[in-house]
Structure 1
Amino acid sequence: MLLDELTQQAKLKTTNTIYESKAARDAFYQNQTWRNKRKEILRRDNNECQVTKSLGGVDKDKLIVHHIKPLEYYPELAMDDSNLITVSHTNHNIIHGLTLAKFNDEWW
């Protein structure tokens, strides 16, 4: 199941922590290069959650472009299409084991 795979990938860590701080992640996500890449991935994924799609459904609300291998530990994959997938806010929180109110990095 895609959700299980994404949850396992989200737990991967390395010693490369260039984006460990919230300020560093905020700077990355506010960068125009990222914003362009985000639009590209949303288009590629037809503006729908790929987790929900893998289960036969459609979810186009509150979409996040998720780094399959975490940005803070795999900065070399930050803009790699194969490391990016569109997921709903709800599924993104499930992947990271967060409550809906906790995760807010990409919502400004």
Structure 2
Amino acid sequence: MDLMTKQMLNKLLIWIKEDELVKFYQSGPWRKLRATALRMYGNKCTKCGKKATMVHHKKKVKDYPLLALQLSNVEPQCNKCHNKEHPEKLSKYNQPKFMNEERW
């Protein structure tokens, strides 16, 4: 299944350049591919078998935009397994609340 048209690729390249990849994840072609991947795996995480709520790109969209809509480049995952794939996205939540040395 390849939903990548020339027009979609051009949009995706612009979204990557403008750091607006969220627009890709809101697009019809992505939603269709996501639903297909979840259905294909019975809504199960490919890592642990729990209920999948995410669809992970094996090769990053920013690095491989041509593969962004390839079914062979995505896999359903649960939140926990997906967070393990992307620890950098959680780093902002693991910061200490106070950054000074003084304790009150």
Where do 1:1-108 residues align within 5 Å? 18=13, 19=16, 21-23=18-20, 25-53=21-49, 59-60=50-51, 63-98=53-88, 99=90
CA distance in 2, matches of 1:45, 1:100: 30
Give the length in aligned residue pairs: 79
C-alpha spacing 1:36/1:71, structure 2 compared with 1 (3 Å):
same
Report the TM-score when normalising by structure 2: 0.66
CA shift, 1:90, in A, is 1.1
**Distance in 1 between residues matched to 2:28 and 2:65, nearest whole Å:** 17
Q: 1:90 to 1:79 in 2, by over 3 A?
A: same
Identity in percent: 30
Does the residue aligned with 2:82 lie in a helix, a strand or coil?
A: helix
Q: Could you say if the C-alpha distance between residues 60 and 20 of structure 1 is closer, same or farther in structure 2, counting changes exceeding 3 Å?
A: farther
Q: Which runs of 5+ in 1 are unaligned?
A: 1-16, 54-58, 103-108
Which structure ranks higher in relative contact order (CA pairs < 8 Å, sequence separation ≥ 6)? 1
State the Cα deviation string for residues 10-54 of structure 1 (Å, max 9, x = none). xxxxxxx9326541x11100001111111000001110111003x
Higher Rg: 2
- Give the SS at the match of 2:77: strand
TM norm structure 1:
0.64
TM-superposed deviation, 1:95: 0.9
Q: Which runs of 5+ in 2 are unaligned?
A: 1-11, 94-104
